[in-house]
Structures are given as structure tokens and as C-alpha cells.
Amino acid sequence: MNRRDFVKAGAAGLALSAMGGYAAEFADQKRRVGLIGTGWYGKCDLLRLIQVAPVEVVSLCDVDKKMLAEAAEIVASRQASKKKPRTYGDYREMLKEKDLDIVLVETPDHWHALPMIEALKGGADVWVQKPTSVDVVESQAMLAAARKYKRVVQVNTQRRSTPHLVQARNEVIKSGKLGKISHVDICCYYHMRARKNPPDTQPPENLDYEMWTGPAPMRPYNELCHPRSWRAFMEYGNGIVGDMCIHMLDMVRWMLDLGMPKRISSSGGIFVQKESKANITDTQTATFEFPELNVVWTHRTWGQAPDPDYQWAAIIYGDKGMLKASVHSFDFIPQGKKEPALSGKAVIEHDKYPEDKNEKDLEQHVASAIRAHWKDFLSAIATRGKPVADIEQGVTSSVASILANISMQVGRSLTWDNEKGRVVGDDEANKLLRRPYRAPWVHPEPDKV
């Protein structure tokens, strides 16, 4: 009996007392859980898991000691055992224990690949934030590792599990109400780009900035980096395309059963908010070309949105009507009509989960989607099947989004060979598929995981 089996056997007697209001299908899933990255969405996702299954959160890891200690207190207050998890400042020390069934990777984007691959090697199934990576080769290595070690991986593109969007997919698209679908607009007009230009300073004592930076380029510490505003810098992510476009692109791919786009083009820049320290675009357009269908992304972090009710959304056009879909609602408008014939709204579950009401920073309209996404993941773990946002689906949407930024960088359209995992006939673009890693960190490779 290995340590994992011993721990699970010892915990079996506690399972019945923890079952409470859990669905019968998850009543025996007393799985040991670890979280890497205890910031905003790390806690949001973990606390939703605690709501749907009798798991035991035994390990938390973060490079911010203050954030880590606060998360440990919150988790202890919310899980059935009331036990405080072990805490770590280095994910490698946490994963050395090899006693975790599920690991959540909720770090900034530049830290997704290495912890995820290490968790898979340790025998855990993994829930990883989107986008899967900051560069294409990282994503390819993550997919290769998931298949090599035969682990279940759910990417948190939770639009695939959002109740009202599942309804829209089934009742509007799958029923044929849109007719022939031949164009999709996806967009984000939120004023979400950092506008400040604060001075560089010394990092706070509670933050291990060397470890926080990890394989990314070492920038002087700035308050925009941590917490939450790190997306202002391309060194740690892929801008608004890598943050918001991937969600809508993935949602459309799921709704319409699309694979990888065959050609991608993008243009944009910093056209308005030039005073900010942020180096991500404030304006960008990208076209993802599929057979008989283009999906066109637009983001703009200034000015007004064309439709205030659908500022972050997909608008799917068919010859029989139009579907508007967002995290908040959907509206199906038949051709020639002005009013929706079918609508839906985000499901709020305060009656079942009253603790949602007062949880700090929880997006109330998204909580039900995260819970449904967890249930799908847990079901896949039980059957050893693929979840709705399997790693391959997450990699496809992530790679497409990353390629949009590369297209903008090189100034031309990119034709993608999905089988070879390379841009066709473009050496300059192919060199950008792998970002340089800062020593001593070593970039993962698909054939060496």
C-alpha cells in the first residue's frame, strides 16, 4: 500500500459524516486537494469545489506569505473537517509529498506549465486556469504530459459549464434555430486595462518576488504586478486576448463544434492609454478563420460599447437569426424581428449556497458555472474519461489566442499546421512559439515531459 492509498483508506471512515448535502455521485469522493496560487480566483474555484464534494484541502502554496495565511484560515473555516491545510512557499516542496488526488494551478499565466506538469508526474489530476500557458510550446508540453501520465485535466474555461449558455447551445444552436451559421463576432469592451503609472519599488516583505517571477523576465517590482494586476504586462501573460478572448473563442468553439482555426491574423496596439505603465494593447482585432466561418475578436479598453448589455460576449449570426451570449445572459432574435424569441440569464444559487452572498470578490453570476465545471471534472475523474474542458480543448483555444498576438507582432497572417504544431512557412513566427526562460528554470518540451 503506497502513501496515497493509506491516506485514502484512513479517511474513508470520515466520508459519511462529510457527505451532508453533496450529490450521491460525489459522496465517496473524499479526495485530497492542493492549491497552487491562493489569490482571487484560486480561492473562488477552491471554495466552489468544497461546496460540491466532500474533499479535504490538505495543502496550499503561494509565494505571498500574507495571502497564504489568509487563505489557510478561510479554507479551515469552510471545509467540513475544519482543519487548516499545510502551507508552502514553493510548489515543488508541496508536490514532493505525492499524496494529492487533485491539484489546482491558479497562478499567473507564466507559472501554469511547470507546476501542472509536476503535479501530473506526481499522480494528481489537475484543474488549471486558462489560458493554459504563456507560449505555444508550453501548452504542447502540458498536453503531452497529461496524455503520458494518463491524468484527467480540466481547464477553467467554465463557459462550457455555464447553465444559461448550455441552454442556449441546446435550445438555439443544436435545435437549428439559427439556420446556416457563417459569422461570429466576439468582443470585450470592459475598461479593464491598468491606467496607473506607479513607480518601481522594493517588493513587500511578505512576497518572494524572485520566486513569483520564476521563468519570466525579471522586471523591477511594481505594485501593478501583485496582486491581480500582473496582466498589465506581456511578460506574464498574453494581454486581454489571453485573458478574455480565449473565454469567448472557447465558448464559440464548444457551441459550434469547431476545431483549431486554419489561419489567424491580428492587429492593434496602444492607441489611447499611452500614459499607463501597462504594455498590453488597449485596442486589438483578431480574425480566426475556420471552414466557412470567421470568428472575429475585438477589444477596446476605452470609449463606449456598441451594446451595453453585451460588452463581453459572442454574437453568432445565422441566416435564420442571431444569438447574443455573455456570462450574464443570452438572447435569440429571429431574422426580421426586433425582440428576442428566447432568452436566459445566469443562474444564482443563493438558496442552495447562502455563503456565496458574502464571499469577498466572488462573481455571483459565475459561481454556478464553476460548481457545474467541478461536477463535470469529478465525474470525469470517476470514469477516467475526458471532461468538457479537457486539456486538448483548452490548449486549442489558448494556442489560437497566443497565435493572434504573434500575428500582430510579426505583422502578417499565420497559417497553422495543427498536426505539426507549427506555423506554415514562417521561421520568424515559429521562433516566437517558445519564450526564453530565465535561468535556472528550464522550458518544458513535449517530447521530454
Which residue matches cell numbers 464534494?
53
Same domain, 85 and 172: no
Q: Determine if the peptide bond prior to 444 is cis (ω within 30°).
A: no
Query: Which of 186, 247, 265 shows the shortest CA–CA distance to 423?
Result: 265
Number of C-beta neighbours around residue 288 at 10 A = 28
Whether 211 and 264 map to the same domain: the answer is yes
Alpha helices in 227-366 (DSSP H): 239-240, 246-256
Which residue carries 456565496 as its cell?
Answer: 356
| Dihedral sign from CA coordinates of 36, 243, 231, 327 | negative
Average pLDDT, the chain: 94
Predicted local confidence at residue 27, as pLDDT: 72
For residues 417, 420, 426 and 429, what is the CA-based torsion angle, rounded to 10 degrees? 100
| Confidence check: pLDDT of 9 > 80 | no
**Does 344 share its domain with 203?**
yes
pLDDT at 44 over 60: yes
pLDDT at site 7: 41
Q: Is pLDDT above 70 for 20?
A: no
Q: For residues 232, 233, 234 and 236, what is the CA-based torsion angle, rounded to 10 degrees?
A: -100
47-71 exposure pattern, b = at least 16 Cβ within 10 A, e = fewer? bbbbbbbbbbbbbbbbbbeebbbeb
Structural domain that includes position 284? 160-349+392-431
Helix (H) or strand (E) holding 32: strand 32-36
Q: What is the pLDDT, as a whole number, of residue 21? A: 58
Across the strands, what pairs with 56? 32
With 90 as the cut, is the pLDDT of residue 365 above it?
yes
* Sequence-ordered strand ranges (E) for 67-120: 86-88, 102-105
- Structural domain includes residue 442: no
User: Do 58 and 83 have their domain in common?
Assistant: yes
Question: Structurally, how many domains does the chain consist of?
Answer: 2
Residue ending a domain, among 157, 185, 207, is 157
Residue 282, domain member (yes or no): yes
Q: Residues 175, 145: one domain?
A: no
- What is the Cα–Cα distance from 31 to 136, expressed in whole angstroms? 32
22 has pLDDT over 70: yes
What is residue 203's DSSP assignment? P
Task: Label residue 6 by pLDDT band (50, 70, 90).
Answer: very low
Mean pLDDT of 244-266: 98
Rounded to 5°, the CA angle 106-297-314 comes to 80
Q: 116 and 196 share a domain?
A: no
Q: Beta strand 263-269 with 283-290: parallel, antiparallel or unpaired?
A: antiparallel
CA distance 278 to 270: 9
Q: Is 444 exposed, middle or buried (0-12, 13-18, 19+ CB in 10 A)?
A: buried
Q: Provide the grid cell at 385.
A: 474519461
128 and 152 assigned to the same domain: yes
> Which set of grid coordinates corresponds to residue 145?
504530459
Q: Does residue 440 have a cis bond before it (omega within 30 degrees)? A: yes
- pTM of the entire structure? 0.94
**Residue 3 confidence (pLDDT) above 70:** no
- The answer on 165 and 104 residing in a single domain is no
The β-bridge partners of 334 are 321
Q: Minimal CA–CA distance to 195: which of 301, 353, 315? A: 301
> Which of 124, 141, 157 is the last residue in one of the domains?
157
User: Is the pLDDT reported for residue 131 higher than 90?
Assistant: yes
CATH code for the domain in which residue 147 is found:
3.40.50.720
Please indicate, yes or no, if residue 372 is contained in any of the structural domains. Answer: no
- In the predicted model, what is the mean pLDDT of residues 15-20? 32
Q: Within a 10 A sphere around the Cβ of 436, how many other Cβ atoms? A: 10
Hey, which residues does 417 pair with through a beta bridge? 422
How large is the average pLDDT for residues 411-435? 98
365 lies in a domain? no
| CA atoms within 13 Å, Cβ hemisphere of 40 | 9
Q: Give me the pLDDT at residue 26, please.
A: 78
Instruction: Give the pLDDT score at 8.
Output: 41
Whichever domain contains 345, its CATH number is: 3.30.360.10
Residue 418 located in a structural domain = yes
